[in-house]
Chain A
Amino acid sequence: SQTIHQWPATLVQPVGSPLSLECTVEGTSNPNLYWYRQAAGRGLQLLFYSVGIGQISSEVPQNLSASRPQDRQFILSSKKLLLSDSGFYLCAWTSGFGELFFGEGSRLTVL
């Protein structure tokens, strides 16, 4: 069966520090992968999606970036965090039927 994991689960970072969140999927090959952010009082916002290695599409301009160095690995990064980057970050993959399966989430607080 397919599983998806992301880490770290929780982190507190100062403004201006870098960020790296990692997500891996097991049990499937060539999945479509997504990074979402859920901020307080806002719906899930799609940040990036990837249909294959090295293929990244950005939905929202911001100081975040994503990379897909391996088929089942998706990384979200920032060189310098802003206060507004605080939120709940969710990695997801999709089955062929359009359903999304999410990782456990990474809760980021920028101080």
Chain B
Amino acid sequence: RKEVEQDPGPFNVPEGATVAFNCTYSNSASQSFFWYRQDCRKEPKLLMSVYSSGNEDGRFTAQLNRASQYISLLIRDSKLSDSATYLCVVRGNAGNNRKLIWGLGTSLAVNP
């Protein structure tokens, strides 16, 4: 089992749609979770951190489910500019496990 797994997609959705991505992780001791966005041939940029209680930033909502070891990202009212690859990132809690583990990303295409 991979340490961090994401559905690669692509997810093709119309403008205005709601879309959700999940990301599973294997290390139950993981402590920090992030979603990054990467545009084609560009560097990744932090979209949002994921807190235990869940958090929302405008049209984006992130949730953490420790029992099932997954995090999710929900995008409401999709815009054309949301088209990108969304990378799930997990950090362990101590020692060598503190390094970041990156998923391969989920590709989203928002169509007019």
Instruction: Give me the interface of A with B, judged by CB distance under 8 Å.
Output: 41-44, 46, 59, 88, 90, 97-105, 107
Contact = CB atoms under 8 A, between A and B. Distances in A.
Interface residues of B, number: 19
Contact of B100 (A46, A104, A105): A46
A98 B99 contact: no
B45 A46 contact: no
A46 B43 contact: no
A90 B91 contact: no
User: Closest 9 A-B residue pairs measured CB to CB?
Assistant: A102-B43, A43-B102, A44-B102, A105-B43, A43-B104, A99-B46, A98-B32, A90-B43, A104-B43
B46 A105 contact: no
Interface of B: 4, 32, 34, 41-46, 49, 87, 91, 99-105
Interface SS, A side: loop
